[in-house]
Structure 1
Amino acid sequence: MSETGGRSTTITDDVLRSFEGHRRELCAYAYRMLGSSFEAEDAVQETFTRAWKSYDSFEGRSSVRSWLYKITTNVCLDMLDGPQRRARPMDLSGPSTPDSPLPAPEPDYVWVEPIPNALAFGADPAEAASAKDTLRLAFVSAVQHLPATQRAILIMREVLRFSANETAEMLNVSPASVNSALQRARATMTKAQEVATVSGAYDETDEQQRKLIDDFVAAFESYDMNALTQLLKADVALSMPPLSLWISGPENVAAFMLGTGQECRDSRMVPLAGANGLPAFGHYKPSGEPGLWTPWSITVLELDGDRVAGLNFFLDTDRLFPLFGLPVELR
C-alpha cells in the first residue's frame, strides 16, 4: 500500500469520502450562520482543511459528523468576528414609494443572499422537507439578529436537534450556558420574526402552488400588471439587493414595474431547481439586440398559500448566475 504524507492512499480516500458525505448539511448550517452561499462554501472548505490536518488527533470520541459540526462552528464564529450582520432591505428601513430614485448599490456583505437548493439539500426528500423552513430568507434574516454564539446554539438545538450536552461539547461551554443562551435566542427570534415576512415553504406537490407559479411567470413575461397584482398578497414586498429600496403592496409594485422597473418588460424567466426551498428563476432582460436577453437577477418568490408574498430580485448576476449554473446570455 503506497504512502502519501504519512497516510495510506486508501485511508486518505476513505477520510475524504467520509467528509464529503456531510458537505450539503454543513453548507446549509454555515449558510444559516453566515447568510451567504459563497461564505458558506468557503467555511465548509476551511472545515475540511482543518479536519484533514487534525485527523490524526481525532480519536473517535464523537462521531465524524459531530466533529465536523464542531469545526464548522469554530470556522463560522471566526468569520463572524465583527459587528456586521447581513440583512434584507425590509430589515433596514421602511418601504419606498414607486417613484423613489434608485439608491446606489450597497456592498455584497450587507445582504442575505440566496442559496441554491442543490448546495443545501441532500437526495432524501424527507430531510429536504424538514430543512426547507429554516432555509427560508425570512428565517435566515431573523437569525442574523442573534449574537454569533447564540446563533450557533439556536441552530444546533432547534434546527439540527443536537442535545444540550452535544451542543455544549461543540462550543466548549456548560449545558447550563447552552440552555440559558437558547432562551435568550428564542426571545430575540420571536421579536425579529414579528417584523419579518414569514411565508410558508413551497410544496412542489401542491397543484395550487404550482399553478400560482405558472400564472406568475405568464403574467410577468407578458407584463400584464392587472393579472400580476391578482396573484400578490396585500402586503407583498418587492426587494432588489444590493439596492436598499423596497416596495410594499400590489398597487405600488405595479406602479414601480411600469415606471422605474419598466426595463423588465419582455423579460424571460428560466426556472431553477429552487433557492432556499422556494421557487426561483434566472431572470433575463432584453439586451436591445433582437433575440438576445442578458442577466438581470436571480428571482426568488416567497409564497403564502395561494398568493405571492415576496418578490426578491437579487441583482448581483456576476456572482450569482455562475453559482446557479446559468449562462451569461439567453438567445
Structure 2
Amino acid sequence: MSDETFERLVAPHRRELAAHCYRMLGSVQDAEDAVQETLLAAWRGLDGFEGRSSVRTWLYRIATRVCLRQASKRPPRLLSPDHGPAFTDVWDLGSPVDGPVWLEPWPTGGGGDPADEYVSREGVELAFVAALQHLPATQRAVLILREVLQYSAAETASLLDTTPASVNSALQRARASVGDRLPAVSQRDELSALGASGRRDLVHAFVSAWEAADVPALLSLLSEDARFTMPPLPAWYSGRVDVGRFLAERVFETPWKLRPASLNGQLGFACYQRNVADGVFRLSGVNVLSVRDGLVTHLSTFIDPALLPHLGLPATPP
C-alpha cells in the first residue's frame, strides 16, 4: 500500500484518535506523540489487518495500547489544586514545576471536522480529563471506551484483550471514582443553559474587563469560591478575595489583548501580553473558563511557553 493510500485510510480518524490519546494522557503534547506512534504501528502492522473489525476500531485498539504503555512510564497529569495548597502571597509564585506534571488544555472546534462530535462533548472538559488522571490506566481506558466512545462491553473487552466481566467490574469502579470528582453539572450543560446570547454576553464582559484591567468588573463575573491557576507555576489562588488581590497586583502590570478560543469544549481565550521592549502583543498564555450558574468558578490559565505552539493559535492577535 502506498503512503497516499494509507493516509486516505487513516486521515478520517486522526483527530478523534488524538482526542482519545488526550483523554488517556492529559497532555496535548503526549497525545501528538501517541498518535504518531499509533500510525507508525498501524503502517507496520497493515498486512496483519484482516478486516474483522472496522479501520476505526483497529486504530483505537493500537492507540489505547500505546497510551497504556505511555501511562505506565509517566505520572498522571495534575491540576494545580491536586499539586499543593492554595497560595495567599501574590508576590511569591514559586518556581515553575517542569516535566510531565500538569494537565494541559486541548484545542477544540475543528470547524466542520466530522470527528468533532467525539471532541467537543464532555469527554474533553478539563474537570473530566483531570478526574480520569486519578484512575489506574486500565480503568481510564475502560471508562473512555465504554462511556465516551460508546463501545459495548464485549467490544471493549476485545480491544483490551480481557473479558466483558472484567470490563464491567473496571467500569463500575471507574464510575464511582470519577463521579466523586466531577461537578454536578457539566460545562456543556452549563453553557447550554446560558444560551447563545448569555455566552456572548459573558465573553464580551470578560474580554472588556480584562483588556481594561477593570478588576471590580472582573470580580463581578466570578463566583465567591472562584479559583485562579497558572501552571507551570505552582501558585494558585482560591476565593474571590485572593483572586482579586492577585489580579489587581500582578496580572495587569502590562496590557493584554484577549481573543476567544475554543479549548476543551469550554469558553476560552488566547491571551496576548504586550512586550515591554518592542510594544508588540504576543501569545503568552491561554485561559479556560469554567462556569456555574452564569458565573466563572475557575480561571485555568496555562502559561508554559513549550505548550503554546501545540495549541494552533496565532502568535500575535488577529
Judge same fold: TM > 0.5, yes or no.
Answer: yes
**Do the aligned partners of residues 152 and 322 (structure 1) sit closer, same or farther apart at CA in structure 2, a change above 3 Å counting?**
closer
1:103 counterpart letter in structure 2: G
Distance change (3 Å), C-alpha of 1:18 and 1:71 = same
Aligned pair partner of 2:210 in 206, 212, 220: 220
Stretch moving more, 77-86 or 64-73: 77-86
Aligned equivalent of 1:261, options 238, 251, 254 = 251
Matched-pair contact (CA < 8 Å) for 1:145–1:192: no
Deviations 1:48-94 (A, max 9, x none): 11111111111111111111000000100111113611010012223
Does residue 311 in structure 1 map to residue 299 in structure 2?
A: yes
Offset at residue 165 of structure 1 (A): 0.5
- Provide the residue aligned with 1:117 in structure 2: 108
Contact 2:16 2:116 in 1 (8 A): no
Query: In the alignment, is residue 324 of structure 1 matched against residue 315 of structure 2?
Result: no
Distance (whole Å) between structure 2 residues aligned to residue 131 and residue 284 of structure 1: 25
Query: CA shift at 1:236, angstroms?
Result: 1.1
Counterpart of 2:263 in 1: which secondary structure? coil
CA contact 2:22–2:30 (8 Å) conserved in 1: yes
Counterpart amino acid of residue 275 in structure 2:
S
Match of 2:11 among 7, 16, 20: 20
Give deviations 1:111-154, integer Å, cap 9, x for gaps.
Answer: 000111156x86349826x8421211111000000001110001
Contact kept, 8 Å, 1:278 with 1:301, in 2: the verdict is yes
What one-letter code is carried by the residue in structure 2 that aligns with 1:52? W
**Is residue 153–residue 164 contact of structure 2 (8 Å, CA) maintained in 1?**
yes
Q: Give the deviation of 1:294 after TM superposition.
A: 3.1
TM-score of the superposition, structure 1-length normalised? 0.88
Partners of 1:85 and 1:286 in 2: how far apart? 34
> CA deviation digits over 1:301-325, x for unaligned, max 9?
1222311121111111343145323
Q: Flag the 1:191–1:205 CA change in 2: closer, same or farther, 3 A.
A: closer
CA deviations on 1:247-305 (whole Å, 9 max, x unpaired) are 11222211111223342x42111222x11111222212222246422332112212223
Q: Is it true that 1:277 corresponds to 2:265 in the alignment?
A: yes
Q: Which moved more, 1:42-51 or 1:184-193?
A: 184-193
Name the CA distance, whole Å, in 2 between partners of 1:105 and 1:77: 28
Aligned counterparts of 1:83 and 1:43: Cα–Cα separation in 2: 13
Question: Could you tell me which residue of structure 2 aligns to residue 155 of structure 1?
Answer: 144
Query: How many positions carry a matched residue from both structures?
Result: 315
CA contact (8 A) 1:32 1:135 kept: yes
Give the counterpart letter for 2:9 in structure 1.
Answer: S
**Does 1:38 pair with 2:29?**
yes
Alignment of 1:95-134 (within 5 A): 95-99=86-90, 101-118=92-109, 123-124=113-114, 127=117, 131-134=120-123
Q: Does structure 2 conserve the Cα–Cα contact (< 8 Å) formed by 1:25 and 1:122?
A: no
Counterpart CA distance in 1 for 2:27 and 2:47 is 31
Q: Give 2:8's aligned amino acid.
A: R
Amino acid at match of 2:123: T
Are 1:206 and 2:196 an aligned pair? yes
What are the within-5 Å matches in structure 2 for residues 160-179 of structure 1? 160-179=149-168
TM-score norm. by structure 2 comes to: 0.91
Work out the percentage of aligned pairs sharing the same amino acid. Answer: 41
Does 2:75 correspond to 1:78? Answer: no
1:213-264 CA-to-partner distances (Å, cap 9, x unmatched) read 110010011011111111111211100010121111222211111223342x
Corresponding residue number in structure 1 for 2:239: 249
User: For the Cα contact (< 8 Å) 1:280–1:299, is it kept in 2?
Assistant: yes
- Larger displacement relative to structure 2 (177-186 or 94-103): 94-103
Q: CA deviation at 1:190?
A: 2.2
- Paired with 2:195 and 2:116, the residues of 1 have a C-alpha distance of 13
Q: Secondary structure at the match of 2:73?
A: coil
Unaligned runs of 5+ in 1: 1-6
Preserved contact between residue 298 and residue 317 of structure 1 (Cα < 8 Å): no
**Cα pair 1:237 1:249 within 8 Å, conserved:** yes
